[in-house]
Structure 1
């Protein structure tokens, strides 16, 4: 276990020291906006990447695997303050659905790569494994059952660039890299700085099934700043900060249950107030070694809304809420990222030794609510408990390039990781009955979000260690071959191994074929293994238990639950690269087959059969659900990316990009029995399967035109989203909500000199496009007016202005 080894013991005080000093890390600064551009005849392949290859000096067009390189400026020159949303706008293979009315997932929204589960993508920070969120997505959203990295904990102001590896890479980086890898590379500068303030608001027509209205407002204010400091001969410290204050959006329909009809819900984005601070630094220790480190902290306070409680439902608390109430779900997420390391030359080998620590704690509160069992003595605000996840990682990477063949790069290394996950209980009123004379027939707990009880308290840890070998040989000036292998041992489920082979052949300097074949795996998260949400409900005067149980709990084991095993994948990618002058085109087809896939089952109820009733009776449990291995799915698709850059003397520089992702996912196996029940009740409903298959667009096409002339510039972008299905509960499909095929247009114009005052104005969703509205027959309460699976949301036109200053 890492914390018990000398490296782990040394890492903890080192991390504390790094945090207290403001943090340290790596090399080169991003050119300031307005700095001299790349020559027109210099190909875009000058983007040197470090993701997907450990050989130095390879550009994004020279690798055997497809890699996108997104500049920090491209991420910041948008109307959004969310990194995940900015990435989804620029990269067709990434989607960022804006879930609503799904509890904590409203505030901690996951992104997907190639339509796969959010936890199938590994996120790195400066090449070091990032930590996942403490939140387990348990409700009916895209990514149900996953615990993924919260990309929005890193402000775009802190980033120099982002590299997106669209290829399986478990053999290179370990668990989670089934769909690919997102590597966030922090800004590094010895001098210069900048600050900006963005103000935006919605100007939109909400055309729902029962009525239309115009909304102007729901503003967002985002302020960010960064500053580079130099010290010594080459030392740097880059500090970045961001503050965001976002008002909630409301896109619900008129509620026909009230008179007069009106909007009773708040269906949309949550209210958010957050601040983030990041520091990244590095300095040479001597002629051979460099010390580096970084530290980031974010505090996010989000408030979303549950479904409204009308007076008829709230009769037990009519003295407190005579007109009913709208429960509000508050999540307070505090997130830490940190690392410290030393790298340099040791006897001709490049050596990098680092330790990182990450932690996420999410505290839940239900406000503007009631516990019906308390009657008119109910509190209206409840502390519901908290979820915590932390991760300590120690890594050693060693590499060297030899003058064998054209070149031979050998890399090997080791990694140790310790993870922890915990659930803390809330106050008794958040989950329990009134302590004296509870109101008969009323369910316990806070309406909207029931708190975690002592039955749910968890404190679990695990450790793992891994070794890898990565060899990349340029056999001739045309043929590149790579081999990688990795072995890992986990304290909870044992040992697994993965491998990868990569081949690239350059027929001419302009045209190449490339391909990879690999195996991958994803370890079940601690959240999936141990998340517990058990409620005590009185039925016929006696308390019974129902909810989500760990798969190894006595209840789940009796129903056939087993210790969770890793998901495993087989990945194949074949592609082409064409480039000429300022133009390049890549086309990459892929097939990803995942087996032993994890899913959160439906509730297995005692009413299904006498057999199930007999199994559950000793536990006094009427229904239970838990995670199960056994699903299998295959994703097939193609990524197309075309880029052209031209410099003209008269009208400036044009940077044109067109890209597409065409993706089809087919669930090929669905378990129908458990270890003890055959046949079992429906373990995975139709809606769960269709969410995996159709919950993200099968086609996403984007085009971007960026123009600059001296200090002025403009960006125009369109994104076409294919239809997404938000499946309902009817087997016929009559209750499904489809987004339809939609195209979104964005526009920004700006005055942006290298130094001095800057200003930009823009519009996201310029033509005020919405997904298909939910018909009145399916939206009987007026709450879900649009499908929240929509990959571009359902908020409408957003206008913004950004003012800044660079120095």
Structure 2
């Protein structure tokens, strides 16, 4: 199936053509006018992601790397790390799902429009653990189990490096779209603290009316401090506390029992969280250093399910005479620890690390009931939990060899990684999932309304092992030409082995102009969450609730319906780009094409009404529909990333930093899964709505332009971000709706009260821009005021103030 957006088959050619056109101007620079190295790079530009060669700047790499400093992340109104990063990196999108159970609290981010779990996240260069949550509702990233970026506070970070290139051969599974490497602060002294307060003040216009809202009050307090460990070591401590009230952008409820009121709560969840991090390093001798870090976050998040009005058949008037709004509460506990040694071993730079990560989610269903218990039903339920953890051992070796090349020494790296993973599902209390004394009444739904608890039959405790070997060589053949080759072999205990490779090259025509490109293969192993997640839940389908069983692909039910054991996704990546440096101006243009095979997705609901055979299969299990994970989606993604920066220093008008960054991206589904079911007729496994979500669920164009100014004690930032329209598809074309093309404007002003104390005041989304509202005919209960596929959310104007102290 092809995309509804115009295809861009000539994107790679267009990018290379543009680069060659600019080459003439760049090449015309005479040698004396070429920028000196200290003019075109800085300490902040040195990167370690995507290359194992030392002292390589972001403009010297063989693949595109964005470098985002902690200061850039903190000069924002939002204190959510993922949201701030998405405002800075145009190829990254961070949507804000609502009324989608756990996905409201553990929100996934997408790079280049691909699945959230197709981007590898590293912490200090080591693999970060994924969340225990698998996204099973109708959101972008449905079926994925991704890393929770918001588990890392911005105050703990020194910088973030985003590698926009396939890197499975260098880093392993998941690095299909690219790599996000989070680098922690390393400080022996100094420190700082800040308090940010903000809230939304907005005019909400939905399909059925207008209203003013002042909600989403948020307070975030953070601090960090550096300590010396002896005369040459460091310990950096960071802490952050955040308390955010919920927002509500639902429409007015048109049903008679609602009396025209807003009955739902569609928006950001209520969140209270605290996070601590420690990062340390200490030389042990002239050649060896010990290092390590540890972090812990606890997050309590509460979102709302669909309202049950007073006349709802599953309401118990004796408990809720006016109906009720169920709440889904999640307690997330996230742990990460690491220890390592780095030094020189037999002439090699060696690095040995052991990293452990764990994410545990405990679910509660509040302000609810189990209708099959009648008036005796509890109103609060322990609904069970999910846990994922991983232990990773890494050994990396790097050495430079003088082989007489004009460009310098050859850089050779090799190493191994061993990983152990575990995934668990724990059952909730019986009242959260079973049918009580009134259970013989089939008109009543069993389990807690809003979020049915995990049953004992859902409980799992599964693990697997993986071992990988890699080699990576960068060869500077001449002063102008550098080539790289990487090879990686991985073996998994559950599905076997995978091999990936990468070739990259860069040619510097002049100090001002270079071309770079790469070809690589990649893979993503099926996660344990995708392989073993199972639950029974109430899924909204065509405005009604369907009791749905999610079954492992290897289960008997799923096998009969057409499932097969999961296998890895595979990809082929092509990139071609240019780097231009003219004094204080730099520009990168990078085109890419990503072909993915056997992408893992969540199937459609297969209802018992499909056929008597399906009914006979599902009825004994007490569910009306079934779904499961499967391979079979093939996609082609092509696009262009453009990042330009100009720095202007003046004596009278202050210092200016201008940045324009754009991503143009087109995703096409070229093949959808076909069923191997023995049933007749064969059920549809992947339908129109899922295909269009992949193709058009993220913006095909995103452009961000910003200007930072400082003079003396004053400073300011202005930013405009354009988002192309996103489609939120329905099961049929008549049920589609879109966000519309939108541009948001953000402004911040700063004043340094003293050398240590600063004040900032700002407004995000100054002109109160919203996505187009959901049409009234597609919102018969008033819950969905706006498309939750919106790439910039749907909360409106946000004002904030920040006080910061440094010492």
TM-score normalised to structure 1 length: 0.92
Partner in structure 1 of residue 543 of structure 2: none
Task: Find the residue that maps to 1:635 and give its secondary structure.
Answer: strand
Task: Find the residue that maps to 1:317 and give its secondary structure.
Answer: coil
Question: Greater shift after overlay, 671-680 or 615-624?
Answer: 615-624
Asked whether the equivalents of residues 453 and 535 of structure 1 are also in contact (C-alpha less than 8 Å), the reply is no
Deviations 1:391-447 (A, max 9, x none): 000000000112221220000000000000000000011001115776663111011
CA 52–606 in structure 1, closer or farther in 2 if over 3 Å, else same: same
Task: Write out aligned runs for 1:524-539 (5 A).
Answer: 524-534=526-536
Partner in structure 1 of residue 39 of structure 2: 42
Deviations 1:572-627 (A, max 9, x none): 00000100111100000000000011111112234334555566688787532111
Distance 1:434 1:274 in 2: 36
Aligned counterpart in structure 2 of residue 596 of structure 1, from 584, 595, 598 = 598
Aligned counterpart in structure 2 of residue 198 of structure 1, from 183, 196, 211 = 196
Distance 1:615 1:690 in 2: 30
CA 314–275 in structure 1, closer or farther in 2 if over 3 Å, else same: farther
Partner in structure 1 of residue 301 of structure 2: 302
Partner in structure 2 of residue 9 of structure 1: none
The answer to whether residue 133 in structure 2 is matched with residue 125 in structure 1 is no
Distance 1:556 1:117 in 2: 23
Asked whether the equivalents of residues 568 and 595 of structure 1 are also in contact (C-alpha less than 8 Å), the reply is yes
- Tell me by how many angstroms 1:755 deviates: 4.1
Partner in structure 2 of residue 249 of structure 1: 247
Task: Write out aligned runs for 1:560-709 (5 A).
Answer: 560-609=562-611, 612=614, 623-674=625-676, 676-677=678-679, 680-709=682-711
Partner in structure 1 of residue 501 of structure 2: 499
Partner in structure 2 of residue 16 of structure 1: none
Partner in structure 1 of residue 259 of structure 2: 260
Task: Write out aligned runs for 1:147-546 (5 A).
Answer: 147-257=145-255, 258=257, 260-314=259-313, 316-404=315-403, 405=405, 406-435=408-437, 441-534=443-536, 546=548
- Tell me by how many angstroms 1:675 deviates: 5.0
- Tell me by how many angstroms 1:788 deviates: 0.4
- Tell me by how many angstroms 1:67 deviates: 0.2
Distance 2:714 2:112 in 1: 35
Distance 2:367 2:453 in 1: 14
Task: Find the residue that maps to 1:717 and give its secondary structure.
Answer: strand
Distance 2:740 2:726 in 1: 7
CA 430–608 in structure 1, closer or farther in 2 if over 3 Å, else same: same
Question: Greater shift after overlay, 272-281 or 545-554?
Answer: 545-554
CA 101–53 in structure 1, closer or farther in 2 if over 3 Å, else same: same
Task: Find the residue that maps to 1:734 and give its secondary structure.
Answer: helix
Task: Find the residue that maps to 2:652 and give its secondary structure.
Answer: coil
Aligned counterpart in structure 2 of residue 551 of structure 1, from 550, 553, 571 = 553
Partner in structure 1 of residue 76 of structure 2: 78
Distance 2:119 2:663 in 1: 17
Task: Find the residue that maps to 2:136 and give its secondary structure.
Answer: coil
Aligned counterpart in structure 2 of residue 107 of structure 1, from 92, 98, 105 = 105
Distance 1:335 1:172 in 2: 27
Distance 2:621 2:318 in 1: 37
CA 693–45 in structure 1, closer or farther in 2 if over 3 Å, else same: farther
Partner in structure 1 of residue 19 of structure 2: none
Task: Find the residue that maps to 1:464 and give its secondary structure.
Answer: strand
CA 536–694 in structure 1, closer or farther in 2 if over 3 Å, else same: closer
Asked whether the equivalents of residues 308 and 315 of structure 2 are also in contact (C-alpha less than 8 Å), the reply is no
Distance 1:372 1:203 in 2: 38
Asked whether the equivalents of residues 374 and 438 of structure 2 are also in contact (C-alpha less than 8 Å), the reply is no
Task: Find the residue that maps to 1:749 and give its secondary structure.
Answer: strand
Asked whether the equivalents of residues 39 and 647 of structure 1 are also in contact (C-alpha less than 8 Å), the reply is no
- Tell me by how many angstroms 1:563 deviates: 1.2
Task: Find the residue that maps to 1:157 and give its secondary structure.
Answer: helix
Deviations 1:336-382 (A, max 9, x none): 11110000112221000000000000000010111111111111111
Deviations 1:437-474 (A, max 9, x none): 76663111011000001010010000000000000011
Partner in structure 2 of residue 787 of structure 1: 787
CA 770–158 in structure 1, closer or farther in 2 if over 3 Å, else same: same
Task: Find the residue that maps to 2:175 and give its secondary structure.
Answer: coil
Asked whether the equivalents of residues 134 and 529 of structure 2 are also in contact (C-alpha less than 8 Å), the reply is yes
Asked whether the equivalents of residues 313 and 444 of structure 2 are also in contact (C-alpha less than 8 Å), the reply is no
Structure 1 gap segments, 5+ residues each: 1-37, 538-543
Asked whether the equivalents of residues 373 and 440 of structure 1 are also in contact (C-alpha less than 8 Å), the reply is no
Distance 1:69 1:792 in 2: 22
Task: Find the residue that maps to 2:46 and give its secondary structure.
Answer: coil
CA 753–525 in structure 1, closer or farther in 2 if over 3 Å, else same: farther
Distance 2:614 2:453 in 1: 28
Task: Find the residue that maps to 2:56 and give its secondary structure.
Answer: coil
Structure 2 gap segments, 5+ residues each: 1-34, 540-545
- Tell me by how many angstroms 1:735 deviates: 1.2
Asked whether the equivalents of residues 69 and 163 of structure 1 are also in contact (C-alpha less than 8 Å), the reply is yes
Distance 2:619 2:773 in 1: 44
Task: Find the residue that maps to 1:70 and give its secondary structure.
Answer: strand
Distance 1:514 1:437 in 2: 66
Distance 2:442 2:418 in 1: 54
Distance 1:545 1:88 in 2: 36
CA 717–297 in structure 1, closer or farther in 2 if over 3 Å, else same: same
Task: Find the residue that maps to 2:71 and give its secondary structure.
Answer: helix
Asked whether the equivalents of residues 372 and 439 of structure 1 are also in contact (C-alpha less than 8 Å), the reply is no
Task: Write out aligned runs for 1:716-731 (5 A).
Answer: 716-730=718-732
Asked whether the equivalents of residues 44 and 582 of structure 1 are also in contact (C-alpha less than 8 Å), the reply is no
